[in-house]
């Protein structure tokens, strides 16, 4: 008998006043009891709309049915058969626009909390040893594939291929794998330990990851083929920051959201003590930068967002959390000029869409987006680009203009989502398998 309560089981959270003083995860996760109760809200629809809304076609009712029975191991195995990174997706996927946005229970009440159940299931697995299901180990098939970049696109492609028996080497420019899951999305939304556990599990399946190795600076794509790799997947992301292109952008006191997010924990609690911070931008990156500034001690954080607050291109849940923490949104505004004080440091921002048009500020954070780095396009002859500077690749197969080279994720589309990058990595893995087996 389904639980017909209209509302989702609430997600326990750290108190807003407490959590702005630390980088620990804001959302605390369901207990087993809450998870089973929430799972019982699922109607196990014969034609599940939630699955249609999931880019990876995760068998949602099947895994939720296992949770409802208290079979958390079975739930995990059902999830992991389709998704390599369930603990990540359960935390950061925009479920309100995907699976939960389509759930039938959402018509009269709140949808089933699919994301929270996915997170619960993956966390239960991690807390109970975190080993990969035995049937995921495949006999080596003697073929080698190189993957460039260890974000969700690269890791998913690598995970899929290794499960088919390929020898997969992932080359990563940074000193730690994970891409934006490790260096973008802040720890208070996605703890580093969760990403590390997912990576360790992929390594235990046989994925080799070589860090501090930038393809294009060290070996080129062509040199990887010379070394015996039969196919290359490019999942190099969109690491080139966009600028505001307004006067004053180079003043001391102006920093990029990427720098702030990457260095936040090493900067420490007092790095912005007492500061008035203005953030320009309104996506996930801007929200994360604003909430990070609060955790670094900022006294006042205002976000200049081009959209109304109800229509921000960021996760709804996170917008509410940011408001509860004390972030102020200035909707439908944009920065026009950054002004310096007598000491040459940032002192104010002139904006459009509001009177008075001058905001006093000690720090301005630029969070207006990012595009793909052209390094691999420049160093790989015959690799075509898109009009927006990404690597041109077929949306369904990941095939590029170079035979044997596949691409997907932000490197192709510009900044998207974790799940869109994973979906691209998974499709490309299937194409690579077909390509190598058909040679």
The H-or-E segment that residue 304 falls in is: strand 300-305
Smallest gap from Cβ 100 to ligand SF4, in A, equals 8
Taking the complex as a whole, how short is the minimal distance between the CB of residue 170 and ligand FAD, in angstroms?
8
Q: Does 251 bind ligand SF4 (CB under 6 A)?
A: no
Picking from 433, 437, 436, the residue whose alpha carbon sits closest to that of residue 157 is 433
d(C-alpha 237, C-alpha 149), whole Å:
7
The Cα–Cα gap between 346 and 273 comes to 16
| Using rule CB under 6 A, residue 5 touches ligand SF4 | no
Q: Check if the beta carbon of residue 351 is closer than 8 Å to that of residue 304.
A: yes
Binding segment (CB under 6 A) for ligand FAD, from list 33-41, 62-70, 232-240, 386-394? 232-240
Binding range to ligand FAD, per CB under 6 A, among 37-45, 70-78, 117-125, 410-418: 410-418
Whole-angstrom Cα distance, residue 91 to residue 170? 24
Least Å distance, CB 273 to ligand FAD, is 23
Binding track over 355-374 against ligand FAD, x by CB under 6 A: ------------------x-
**Does residue 104 interact with ligand SF4 by CB under 6 A?**
yes
Establish if 174 lies at the interface with ligand FAD (CB under 6 A). Answer: yes
- Contacts with ligand FAD in 200-229 (CB under 6 A)? 214-216
Which of 117, 261, 298, 327 binds ligand FAD (CB under 6 A)? It is: 261
Residue number, 169 or 347, with CB nearest to ligand FAD:
169
Among 105, 291, 315, 402, contact with ligand FAD (rule: CB under 6 A):
315
From the list ligand FAD, ligand SF4, none, partner contacted by residue 361 (C-beta under 5 to 8 A by kind): none
Residues 24-83 that bind ligand FAD (CB under 6 A): none
* 112 forms part of the interface with ligand SF4 (CB under 6 A): yes
Instruction: Let me know: does 428 contact 149? Beta carbons within 8 Å.
Output: no
Where b means 16+ CB within 10 Å and e means fewer, 263-294 reads ebeebeeebbeebbbbbbbbbbbbbbbbbbbb
Q: Which stretch binds ligand SF4 (CB under 6 A): 102-110, 147-155, 175-183, 311-319?
A: 102-110
Name which of residues 415 to 434 contact ligand FAD (CB under 6 A): 415-419, 421
Note the Cα 90 to chain centre separation in Å.
11
What is the DSSP code string of 274-287?
A: T-EEEEE--SHHHH
The answer for residues whose C-beta is within 8 angstroms of residue 321's C-beta and 6 or more apart is 13, 16, 26, 291
Q: At its nearest, how many Å lie between ligand SF4 and the CB of residue 168?
A: 33
Q: Is 50 in the site for ligand SF4 (CB under 6 A)?
A: yes
In angstroms, the CA 148 to CA 163 distance is 18
Which residues within the stretch 88-117 sit at the binding site for ligand FAD (CB under 6 A)?
92-93
Residue 48 in the binding site for ligand SF4 (CB under 6 A): yes
What is the distance of C-alpha 122 from the center of its chain? 16
Return the range that interacts with ligand SF4 (CB under 6 A); candidates 99-107, 136-144, 407-415, 427-435.
99-107
Residue 50: C-alpha distances to residues 18, 53, 96, 112, 341 (Å): 35, 5, 11, 10, 53
Quick check: 146 binds ligand FAD (CB under 6 A)?
no
Buried b (16+ CB within 10 A) or exposed e, 371-382: bbbebbbebbee
User: Three-state secondary structure along 197-235?
Assistant: HHHHHHHHHCCEEECCCCCCCCCCHHHHHHCCCCEEEEC
Q: Does position 144 bind ligand SF4 by CB under 6 A?
A: no
Decide if residue 284 touches ligand FAD (CB under 6 A). Answer: yes
Number of residues that bind ligand FAD (CB under 6 A): 42
**Does the protein bind ligand FAD through residue 410 (CB under 6 A)?**
yes
Q: Which residues contact 343 (CB under 8 A, 6 or more apart)?
A: none
> Taking CB under 6 A as the criterion, which residues in 113-132 touch ligand SF4?
114
Give ∠ CA 405-380-161 in degrees, rounded to 5: 25
Position among 237, 253, 335, 404 found at the interface with ligand FAD (CB under 6 A): 237
The C-alpha atoms of residue 120 and residue 133 are separated, in whole angstroms, by 17
* Binding status of residue 180 toward ligand FAD by CB under 6 A: yes
Judged by CB under 6 A, does residue 45 bind ligand SF4?
yes
Contact 149, 234 (CB under 8 A): yes
> Residues 132, 81, 228, CA angle at the centre, nearest 5°?
75
Tokens 């969109």 correspond to: 238
- Binding partner of 235, given ligand SF4, ligand FAD, none, CB within 5-8 angstroms per partner class: ligand FAD
Contacts with ligand SF4 by CB under 6 A lie at 42-45, 48-50, 60-61, 103-105, 112, 114
Contacts with ligand FAD by CB under 6 A lie at 92-93, 148-154, 171-174, 179-181, 184-185, 214-216, 235-237, 239, 261, 284-285, 288, 315, 373, 375-376, 409-411, 415-419, 421
């Amino acid at each position: 008998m389904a639980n017909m309560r209209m509302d989702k089981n609430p997600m326990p959270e750290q108190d807003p006043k407490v959590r702005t003083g630390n980088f620990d995860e804001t959302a605390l996760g369901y207990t087993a009891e809450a998870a089973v109760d929430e799972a019982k809200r699922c109607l196990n629809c014969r034609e599940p709309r939630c699955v249609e809304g999931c880019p990876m076609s995760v068998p949602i009712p099947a895994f939720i049915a296992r949770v409802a029975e208290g079979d958390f191991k079975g739930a995990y195995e059902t999830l992991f058969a389709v998704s390599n990174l369930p603990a990540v997706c359960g935390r950061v996927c925009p479920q309100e626009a995907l699976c939960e946005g389509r759930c039938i229970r959402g018509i009269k009440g709140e949808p089933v909390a699919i994301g929270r159940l996915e997170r619960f299931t993956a966390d239960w697995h991690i807390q109970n040893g975190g080993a990969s299901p035995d049937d995921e180990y495949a006999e080596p098939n003697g073929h080698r594939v190189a993957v460039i970049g260890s974000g969700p696109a690269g890791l998913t492609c690598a995970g899929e291929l290794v499960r088919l028996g390929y020898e997969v080497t992932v080359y990563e420019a940074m000193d730690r794998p994970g891409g934006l899951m490790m260096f973008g999305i802040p720890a208070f939304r996605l703890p580093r330990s969760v990403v590390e556990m997912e990576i360790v599990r992929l390594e235990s399946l046989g994925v080799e990851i070589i860090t501090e190795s930038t393809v294009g600076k060290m070996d080129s794509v062509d040199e990887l083929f010379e070394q015996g790799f039969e196919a290359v997947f490019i999942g190099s992301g969109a690491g080139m920051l966009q600028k505001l292109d307004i006067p004053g952008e180079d003043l001391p006191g102006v920093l990029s959201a990427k720098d702030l997010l990457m260095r936040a924990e090493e900067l420490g609690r007092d790095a912005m003590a007492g500061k008035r911070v203005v953030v320009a931008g309104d996506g996930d990156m801007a929200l994360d930068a604003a909430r990070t500034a609060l955790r670094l001690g900022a006294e006042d954080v205002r976000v200049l967002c081009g959209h109304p607050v109800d229509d921000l291109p960021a996760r709804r849940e996170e917008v509410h959390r940011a408001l509860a923490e004390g972030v102020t949104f200035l909707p439908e505004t944009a920065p026009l000029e950054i002004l310096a004080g007598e000491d040459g440091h940032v002192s104010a921002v002139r904006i459009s869409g509001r009177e008075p048009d001058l905001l006093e500020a000690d720090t301005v954070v630029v969070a207006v987006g990012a595009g793909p780095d052209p390094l691999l396009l420049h160093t790989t002859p015959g690799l075509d680009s898109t009009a927006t500077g990404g690597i041109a690749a077929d949306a369904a197969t990941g095939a590029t203009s170079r035979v044997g080279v596949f691409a997907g994720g932000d490197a192709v589309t510009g900044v998207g989502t974790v799940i869109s990058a994973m979906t691209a990595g998974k499709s490309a893995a299937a194409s690579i398998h077909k390509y190598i087996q058909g040679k």
